[in-house]
């Protein structure tokens, strides 16, 4: 009888654990189960330099505003562990971005980080707004495969350099809060 | 000894809590941890009204069918708490939609709700099919950042008005079932 | 007093259950809560066959490489339970793909599986890289609605056939690891 009471009590607690998870700030205060920093290098095709280019424009900017509204770029960009373009890539970022604001630069990204090294095999799927005027901006890791099976988390972007119209580099701080 | 027995028993229950979550209908019957209604206003650029427009077509419709198949629109649309276009926006919806059916109007959306008010700071990332002939249709909230850290849920769309080719308004009922 | 001790102890265990979930390989070794195989049929519009076509190109390939880099296709494709194009569809796949590699064929997908049958009503939202040279490749199920409320999982793609430029078929092995 007393055992049953305990059982019910503790079952209640265990089932309630999701509500606990669902309550604010539990994970916010906890550190990621996995995190790493990578650099994203976007070298836009200028029409002639196919050897070095890793992205290309597939839809032109519209005439709405002066900040490339609607310009859509597809990329297969190298990811490196430091900020050197020519460092050996540890992953590829495959996806697209477009500009979407008429009165300032602002973008939106969806892409997959594809890992195929001795250290990691698998992918992370990411989407979100790149609020370019902000010093840092957060996107969502919405899923993963392989070594990153079912992962979720946050990617914090920071512009590392911007060189003319054809090269920019982002620091990506990848933090996973759900790992398996 | 008896303490150990309890420990093992209750550890078993606690670990089982995910299976409980994974079992059907647990959350279905439960109310969202957070919910709110916002109105989405899409004013498509007609080529001249750049002052009022908040979206623009970046790829033309194809000749497959008579329902704009393939027409792709990028947007930075205001979100308001009531259905008045000129109410102060409480968020921006940044993303894109395209039409994707040859024999009726049907669309697909991916976008970020960007909150930057005294009440909320952060983003919600959303994607899914907009089955326009249905009175209501559900999209997925696949992630969130800031105040909406790691959120998941459902957005229910309802067409509130459709005015010619250049303005439509959707009621978005945002229900989060995973909050932190 | 002793009861309180137990309570605290077990509350600790219950709260820790998320960390247990977060630890590696828990779900990896477990079977999906739901799984099924469907075939995806993509019949690209060739400019004249609107009756049979279910997808259309909305942005042309760029001149970066020789593998359709940047070619963007919107689709509303039938999903069948066997590999016959003319079998009754049990769902539609609505979304888009584009090619994104300059030195081989490689693609990126985002789409919704729309179910509207006596067996299933609801949607699954999917995104990820389609690494075409690999025999199988994994995408993420990032959310679901209706019968698939809040689902997450993995879709494993396998090319079933490739017929010229206008028809290909993928086997999609859909495995859900989070069900409600």
Nearest to A75 by CA among A125, A31, A40, A25: A40
Q: Note whether C102 contacts A143, CB cutoff 8 Å.
A: no
Q: Which one of A20, A53, A177 has the shortest CB-CB distance to C15?
A: A20
Buried b (16+ CB within 10 A) or exposed e, B119-158: ebebbbbbbbbbbbeeeebbbbbbbbbbbbbbbbbbbbbe
Is C15 in the A-facing interface, judged by CB distances under 8 Å? Answer: yes
Question: Average pLDDT of C12-16?
Answer: 37
Question: Is B16 or A172 the better-scoring residue by pLDDT?
Answer: A172
Measured in degrees and rounded to the nearest 5, phi and psi for residue A49 equal -90, 65
* pLDDT for residue A110: 98
Separation CA C123–CA C140 (nearest Å): 14
Q: Kindly indicate the confidence band of residue A29, based on its pLDDT and cuts at 50, 70 and 90.
A: low
The per-residue pLDDT of chain A, averaged, comes to: 88
Q: How many CB pairs under 8 A join A and B?
A: 134
Q: Which one of C57, C122, C143 has the shortest CB-CB distance to B142?
A: C143
Question: Average pLDDT of C171-176?
Answer: 98
Question: Average pLDDT of A3-21?
Answer: 39
Whether C35 has a pLDDT exceeding 80, the answer reads yes
Is C132 in the A-facing interface, judged by CB distances under 8 Å? Answer: no
Determine the distance in angstroms separating the CA of B140 from the nearest CA of chain C, rounded to an integer. 5
Q: Kindly indicate the confidence band of residue B18, based on its pLDDT and cuts at 50, 70 and 90.
A: very low
Whether A79 has a pLDDT exceeding 50, the answer reads yes
Q: Which residues of B touch C122 (CB under 8 A)?
A: 138
Determine the distance in angstroms separating the CA of A83 from the nearest CA of chain B, rounded to an integer. 26
Is B67 in the C-facing interface, judged by CB distances under 8 Å? Answer: no
* pLDDT for residue A28: 53
Is A127 in the C-facing interface, judged by CB distances under 8 Å? Answer: yes
A 83-122 residues inside an 8 A Cβ radius of C: 94-96, 110-112, 114, 122
Q: Which one of C18, C99, C108 has the shortest CB-CB distance to A95?
A: C108
Q: Which one of C20, C53, C112 has the shortest CB-CB distance to B108?
A: C112
Is B135 in the C-facing interface, judged by CB distances under 8 Å? Answer: no
Q: Note whether A178 contacts B150, CB cutoff 8 Å.
A: yes
Is A179 in the B-facing interface, judged by CB distances under 8 Å? Answer: no
Q: Which one of B53, B94, B145 has the shortest CB-CB distance to A108?
A: B94
Residue that is written with structure tokens 């697909």 in the block: B108
Q: Kindly indicate the confidence band of residue B29, based on its pLDDT and cuts at 50, 70 and 90.
A: low
Determine the distance in angstroms separating the CA of C1 from the nearest CA of chain A, rounded to an integer. 15
Is C33 in the B-facing interface, judged by CB distances under 8 Å? Answer: yes
Question: Average pLDDT of B28-57?
Answer: 93
Question: Average pLDDT of A86-95?
Answer: 97
Q: Kindly indicate the confidence band of residue B11, based on its pLDDT and cuts at 50, 70 and 90.
A: very low
Q: Kindly indicate the confidence band of residue A53, based on its pLDDT and cuts at 50, 70 and 90.
A: very high
Task: Enumerate the β-bridge partners of residue A167.
Answer: A43, A163
Strand B55-59 to B72-80 pairing: antiparallel
Is A7 in the C-facing interface, judged by CB distances under 8 Å? Answer: no
Is C71 in the B-facing interface, judged by CB distances under 8 Å? Answer: no
Question: Is residue A17 helix, strand or coil?
Answer: helix
Show the DSSP H helices in chain A as ranges.
Answer: 2-15, 17-22
Whether B127 has a pLDDT exceeding 50, the answer reads yes
Whether A14 has a pLDDT exceeding 70, the answer reads no
Q: Note whether A177 contacts B20, CB cutoff 8 Å.
A: no
Whether A1 has a pLDDT exceeding 50, the answer reads no
Q: How many residues does chain C have?
A: 180
Whole-complex ipTM = 0.85
The per-residue pLDDT of chain B, averaged, comes to: 88
* pLDDT for residue B68: 98
Q: Note whether A69 contacts B74, CB cutoff 8 Å.
A: yes
Question: Is A165 or C153 the better-scoring residue by pLDDT?
Answer: C153
* B139-166 per-position pLDDT tens digit: 999 999 999 999 999 999 999 999 999 9
Separation CA B131–CA A147 (nearest Å): 35
Q: Which residues of A touch B75 (CB under 8 A)?
A: 100
* B63-83 per-position pLDDT tens digit: 999 999 999 999 999 999 999
* pLDDT for residue B12: 37
Whether C62 has a pLDDT exceeding 70, the answer reads yes
Residue A114 and residue A125 in contact, taking contact as beta carbons nearer than 8 Å: no
Q: Note whether C145 contacts B127, CB cutoff 8 Å.
A: no
Residue B83 and residue B171 in contact, taking contact as beta carbons nearer than 8 Å: yes
* C90-141 per-position pLDDT tens digit: 999 999 999 999 999 999 999 999 999 889 999 999 999 999 999 999 999 9
* pLDDT for residue B28: 53
Is B10 in the A-facing interface, judged by CB distances under 8 Å? Answer: yes
Q: Note whether A101 contacts B150, CB cutoff 8 Å.
A: no
Residue C111 and residue C94 in contact, taking contact as beta carbons nearer than 8 Å: yes
* A97-133 per-position pLDDT tens digit: 999 999 999 999 999 999 998 899 999 999 999 999 9
* pLDDT for residue C180: 86
Separation CA C152–CA A145 (nearest Å): 12
Nearest to A159 by CA among A129, A133, A125, A126: A133
Q: Which one of A7, A99, A128 has the shortest CB-CB distance to B125?
A: A128
* pLDDT for residue C28: 53
Q: How many CB atoms lie within 10 A of CB A68?
A: 22
Q: Which one of A10, A64, A102 has the shortest CB-CB distance to B13?
A: A10
* B97-124 per-position pLDDT tens digit: 999 999 999 999 999 999 998 899 999 9
Determine the distance in angstroms separating the CA of A88 from the nearest CA of chain B, rounded to an integer. 31
Whether B8 has a pLDDT exceeding 70, the answer reads no
* A127-153 per-position pLDDT tens digit: 999 999 999 999 999 999 999 999 999
* C131-140 per-position pLDDT tens digit: 999 999 999 9
Q: Which residues of C touch B153 (CB under 8 A)?
A: 150
Separation CA A146–CA A38 (nearest Å): 19
* pLDDT for residue A124: 98
Whether A13 has a pLDDT exceeding 50, the answer reads no
């Amino acid at each position: 009888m007393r055992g049953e009471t305990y059982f019910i009590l503790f079952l209640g607690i265990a089932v309630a654990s999701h509500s606990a998870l669902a309550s604010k700030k539990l994970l916010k205060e906890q550190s990621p189960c996995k995190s790493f920093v990578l650099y994203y290098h976007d070298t836009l095709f200028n029409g002639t330099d196919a050897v070095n280019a890793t992205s290309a424009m597939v839809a032109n900017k519209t005439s709405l505003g002066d900040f490339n509204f609607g310009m859509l770029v597809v990329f297969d960009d190298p990811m490196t562990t430091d900020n050197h373009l020519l460092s050996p890539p540890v992953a590829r970022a495959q996806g697209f971005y477009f500009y979407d604001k008429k009165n300032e630069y602002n973008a939106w990204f969806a892409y997959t980080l594809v890992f195929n090294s001795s250290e990691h095999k698998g992918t992370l799927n990411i989407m979100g707004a790149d609020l370019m005027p902000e010093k840092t901006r957060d996107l969502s890791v919405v899923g993963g495969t392989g070594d990153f099976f079912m992962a979720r988390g946050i990617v914090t972007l920071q512009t590392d350099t911007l060189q003319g119209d054809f090269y920019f580099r982002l620091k990506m701080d990848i933090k996973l809060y759900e790992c398996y």
